[in-house]
Amino acid sequence: MRGKLVAGNWKMNGNLASNQALLQALIPAISPIAGVKYAVCAPFPYLGQVQQLLRGSCIEWGAQDLCQFDHGAYTGGVSAAMLADFNCRYAIVGHSERRSVFGETDEIVALKFAAAIQAGLTPILCVGESLSERESGVTEAVVARQINAVMVHSGVAALGRAVVAYEPVWAIGTGKTATPEQARAVHAFIRRSVAARDEAIAAALPILYGGSVKAANAAQLFSIPDIDGGLIGGASLNAEEFIAICRCAQPAA
């Protein structure tokens, strides 16, 4: 049985004081429940702080990116092994902001995914279409291309150690959420695409939804069969909102 995962993506936000306040609010409020995982993905400089504060809690942590190379003359790069050194469980790869602002191609994302797997991290592979792609009817083609790049490079079995996040670009930070039907359709498409190569891997693959998830819409989104939790941007910076979203992933008592 696939469990649920709620992961916060802090993006380039926070500082030592605000991170501490946020985590100290989350830790006592989020309790371990079978089948539900929680994580925060922090900026690189704060991974040591996050590790120190979250150690022993039921909240795991991760990074928002990593370098595709192991080590060497890559100024500014942070390797998968460095993330593992800070006990990161997750590394987000291919977030649309990395693709659009930093020019990451499907090939680069596939290399980053492979580097994360190699180091024993769980990559959270982000896929999703822009507004113009949706309007021109190529959503499935875009998402298929993004997932295939990874499956071709690492093999479908690698998805057995990964998480996929469907994040329609037009829903990120805009307050616009995909309708339950739009999200359901793409999540089902992603699972079918993976199932075409390996049914067992597809059945076990957690597929998160990301894009303006809030406490007010999380319960509805998480109740959709192919939606296995969320990747939360803005709302993950607010303790009350994030806690409420985490609770929406827990089975009803």
Residues labelled as active-site residues: 95, 167
Are 129 and 171 in contact by the 8 Å Cβ rule? The answer is no
Minimum CB separation from ligand 13P for residue 199, in Å? Answer: 28
Minimum CB separation from ligand 13P for residue 92, in Å? Answer: 7
Residues 168-197 that bind ligand 13P (CB under 6 A): 172-173
Residues 76-115 that bind ligand 13P (CB under 6 A): 95
**Which pair of tokens denotes residue 23?**
């985590």
239-248 vs 16-29: helix crossing angle, rounded to 10:
40
Residue in 178, 105, 100 with CA at minimum distance from that of residue 139: 178
Are 5 and 206 in contact by the 8 Å Cβ rule? The answer is yes
In angstroms, the Cα distances linking 183 to 19, 105, 132, 155, 201 are 31, 24, 17, 26, 21
Taking the least distance from each CB to ligand 13P, the nearer of 47 and 232 is 232
Q: Does 211 bind ligand 13P (CB under 6 A)?
A: yes
Are 111 and 153 in contact by the 8 Å Cβ rule? The answer is yes
Q: Does 5 bind ligand 13P (CB under 6 A)?
A: no
Residues 151-170 that bind ligand 13P (CB under 6 A): 167
Taking the least distance from each CB to ligand 13P, the nearer of 22 and 232 is 232
Q: How far apart are CA 17 and CA 139, in angstroms?
A: 40
Q: Which helix (H) or strand (E) holds 74?
A: none
Are 123 and 162 in contact by the 8 Å Cβ rule? The answer is yes
Minimum CB separation from ligand 13P for residue 216, in Å? Answer: 12
Taking the least distance from each CB to ligand 13P, the nearer of 43 and 155 is 43
Minimum CB separation from ligand 13P for residue 234, in Å? Answer: 3
Residues 214-233 that bind ligand 13P (CB under 6 A): 231-233
Q: Does 14 bind ligand 13P (CB under 6 A)?
A: no
Q: 């980053």: which residue's tokens?
A: 112
Instruction: Find the binder of ligand 13P among 4, 6, 9, 94 (CB under 6 A).
Output: 9
Residue nearest to ligand 13P according to CB distances in the complex: 233
Residue in 111, 109, 87, 86 with CA at minimum distance from that of residue 96: 109
Instruction: Find the binder of ligand 13P among 212, 215, 222, 241 (CB under 6 A).
Output: 212
Taking the least distance from each CB to ligand 13P, the nearer of 139 and 201 is 139
Q: How far apart are CA 133 and CA 140, in angstroms?
A: 9
Taking the least distance from each CB to ligand 13P, the nearer of 80 and 94 is 94
Minimum CB separation from ligand 13P for residue 70, in Å? Answer: 26
Would you tell me which residues interact with ligand 13P (CB under 6 A)? 9, 95, 167, 172-173, 210-213, 231-235
